[in-house]
Amino acid sequence: MRIRVLGTAAGGGLPQWNCGCAECTAARHGGHARSQDCLAVSGDGRAWYLVNASPDLRTQLLAAPELAPAPGTRDTPLRGVLLTSGELDHTLGLLTLREASGLTVHATAPVRHALHHAFPVGPLLAAYTGADRTGAANTGADWHTVTPGKPVELEGGLRAEAFALGGKRPRYAAHLPDHGDWVTGYRFTEDGTGACAVYAPGLAEWTPALDGAVAGADVVLLDGTFATAEELAERTGGARRSPGMGHLAVQDSLPHLARRPGPRYLYTHLNNTNPLAGRTPPEVTAAGAEVARDGLLIELP
Ligand code: MLT
Ligand code: MN
Ligand code: ZN
């Protein structure tokens, strides 16, 4: 299995275009910018799947050599997209894929619904994507409903199993029912080697389902949006605490890592208020965890 970490920042990226906070200013001057959270994964190194489609997708794809099309063709190694949520920072990049001659998108039922109504990227893509050779007709993307606990067989000997992480809706979908699988993680397993990776960039709390997913995994990429629950309020003067925003702070997930030793743990989806984006503190290193960086390649086993 190969994983290319395409982006590691939360919505807005680092620096965020309209932010002059200390972290964004340091990123502007120090060059340690981060693009928005996105991953590419492959079982055989030939068929690749995106997990989420960030607003920075075009630049991210161009920076990943394994995602280049075969010379002289439009034969892309990209076979499809799996979504962990319907959040804009995970879905705006779908529009960037509109030139695709075929596009498969995997999403849970509420996310799939939201992406056809509240944020109608599905119908929009249908006008551009999947053109036949004459260009006369577009078939649109091929949408598949993801159900937690029901594995999906992907090309290249890769299996993806979603696990439920809660009902936090995107703000644009606030009028839609708040039950159901708005947020999921994925457990990827490679046939043959049994290599296993877990990706959970949005985590409101550490649940038994997550415990089950990380058991026996080789690598786990986790929600690192905020370093502490109070970070956002302290930095912005607002009242919002991270748990209510669907993000378990790193400080509060570290003790769970100690309970579940074994996997290589990396934090991703870092908000631009998060000091971990610039410097990994000793308590993270002491827990055996890392902060992921854009472009990181993970090869398993
Ligand atoms: C989130 O991760 O909580 C969302 O992407 C926030 C947002 O940008 O609206
Ligand atoms: Mn986000
Ligand atoms: Zn900032």
* Ligand 2 centre distance from Cα of residue 11 (Å): 5
Phi then psi for 220, rounded to 5 degrees? -130, 120
Does 56 sit in the ligand 1 pocket, CB within 6 Å? no
CA-based nearest residue to 221, from 275, 185, 170, 261: 185
| Predicted pLDDT of residue 135 | 64
Does 245 sit in the ligand 1 pocket, CB within 6 Å? yes
Work out the number of other CB atoms within 10 angstroms of the CB of residue 259.
9
Pocket test for ligand 1, best of 18, 37, 83, 88 (most atoms within 8 A of CB): 88
CB 186 within 8 A of CB 202: no
CATH class of 2-299: alpha beta
Point out the ligand 1 atom lying closest to the alpha carbon of residue 11. 8
Does 174 sit in the ligand 1 pocket, CB within 6 Å? no
| Predicted pLDDT of residue 134 | 67
Instruction: Using DSSP, state whether 216 is helix, strand or coil.
Output: coil
CA-based nearest residue to 170, from 121, 218, 213: 121
CB 167 within 8 A of CB 178: yes
CA-based nearest residue to 164, from 198, 197, 207: 207
CB 131 within 8 A of CB 138: yes
Print pLDDT tens along the chain (301 aa): 999 999 999 999 999 999 998 899 999 998 889 999 999 999 999 999 999 999 999 999 999 999 999 999 989 999 999 999 999 999 999 999 999 999 999 999 999 999 999 999 999 999 999 876 666 788 889 999 999 999 999 999 999 999 999 899 999 999 999 989 999 999 999 999 999 999 999 999 999 999 999 999 999 999 999 999 999 888 877 777 776 789 999 999 999 999 999 999 999 999 999 999 999 999 999 999 999 999 999 999 9
Task: Walk across the sheet containing 219-223 and list its strands.
Answer: 152-154, 158-166, 183-190, 196-200, 219-223, 264-268, 289-291
Q: Which residues are within 5 Å of ligand 3 (an ion), measured at CB? A: 19, 21, 24, 272
Give the pair of three-digit tokens for residue 277. Answer: 């984006």
Please give the full DSSP string across 71-118, using - where no structure is assigned.
TTS---SEEEEE-S---HHHHGGGGGGTT-SS-EEEEEHHHHHHTTTT
Rounding to the nearest 10 degrees, give the CA dihedral for residues 197, 55, 89, 130. -70
Give the pair of three-digit tokens for residue 262. Answer: 């074994």
Name the DSSP letter for residue 233. Answer: H
Bridge pairing between strands 142-146 and 104-108: parallel
| Predicted pLDDT of residue 139 | 83
**Burial of residue 49, with CB atoms counted within 10 A of its CB: 0-12 exposed, 13-18 middle, 19 or more buried:** buried
Q: What residue spans define the domains of the chain?
A: 2-299
| Predicted pLDDT of residue 237 | 78
Phi then psi for 104, rounded to 5 degrees? -105, 130
* Ligand 2 centre distance from Cα of residue 6 (Å): 15
Q: Which amino acid is located at 219 in the chain?
A: V
Bridge pairing between strands 38-42 and 2-7: antiparallel
Give the pair of three-digit tokens for residue 217. Answer: 């995994």
